[in-house]
Amino acid sequence: MNFVNLQTDPIQLDEIYKKVVSPCCGAISSFIGITRDNFEGRHVTRLSYEAYEPMALQELNGLCDSARQKFTDIKHIAIYHRLGDVAISDISVAIYVSGAHRRDVLDAVSFLIEQLKANVPIWKKEFYDDHADDNNNNEATTSYSWKENK
């Protein structure tokens, strides 16, 4: 089965794990994307994600179908993406794949995160806590930029 979800609540990994585990599966692989505290040298304070939800869900389900065509040994796929504000070290996306053997499961996770980043209409707004360089000005300024996944 495919379990695809967009949610504003924190992502619970144990809940996703329980969805994909199965007695016939010897392998589960996952990718978990997390809010980092920096981007190209700038200090990131938080991220916010927005999606055009109907299209994002449709694209995510389409990705699951593509993965199953390429990797036929797959049993379950779960793709959970957070929307709204995500604090540093919190999970923004979690992908889990289960199957009988490890090779297809590992390759499917890699394929799914690359395709998600490239093709699914979910955008992130990155908030920075920038200090005005090093001339004794300690005042912090907050700025942000919208960016596509890459």
Q: By CB under 8 A, name the binding residues for a second copy.
A: 13-14, 17, 21-38, 88-89, 100, 102, 105-106, 109-110, 113
Of 22 and 66, the one with the shorter C-beta distance to a second copy is 22
Could you tell me whether strands 42-51 and 91-99 are parallel, antiparallel, or unpaired per DSSP bridges? unpaired
- Smallest distance from a second copy to CB 44, Å: 10
Residues in the chain, total: 150
Q: What angle do CA 1, 150, 102 make, to 5 degrees?
A: 40
On the CB side of 128, CA atoms within 13 Å amount to 14
Q: Which is nearer to a second copy, 53 or 114 (CB)?
A: 114
* Rounded-to-integer distance, Cα 4 and Cα 120, Å: 13
Compare residues 36 and 70 and give the one whose CB is closer to a second copy.
Answer: 36
Distance of alpha carbon 65 from alpha carbon 56, whole angstroms:
14
**14 or 139, CB closer to a second copy?**
14
Smallest distance from a second copy to CB 51, Å? 19
Q: How far is the CB of 110 from a second copy (least distance, A)?
A: 5
- 8: helix, strand or coil: coil
105 CB-near residues (< 8 Å, 6+ apart): 27, 28, 29, 71, 73, 74, 97, 98, 99
Question: Whole-number minimum distance, CB 108 to a second copy, in Å?
Answer: 11
Q: Which is nearer to a second copy, 89 or 136 (CB)?
A: 89
Q: Smallest gap, in angstroms, from Cβ of residue 87 to a second copy? A: 10
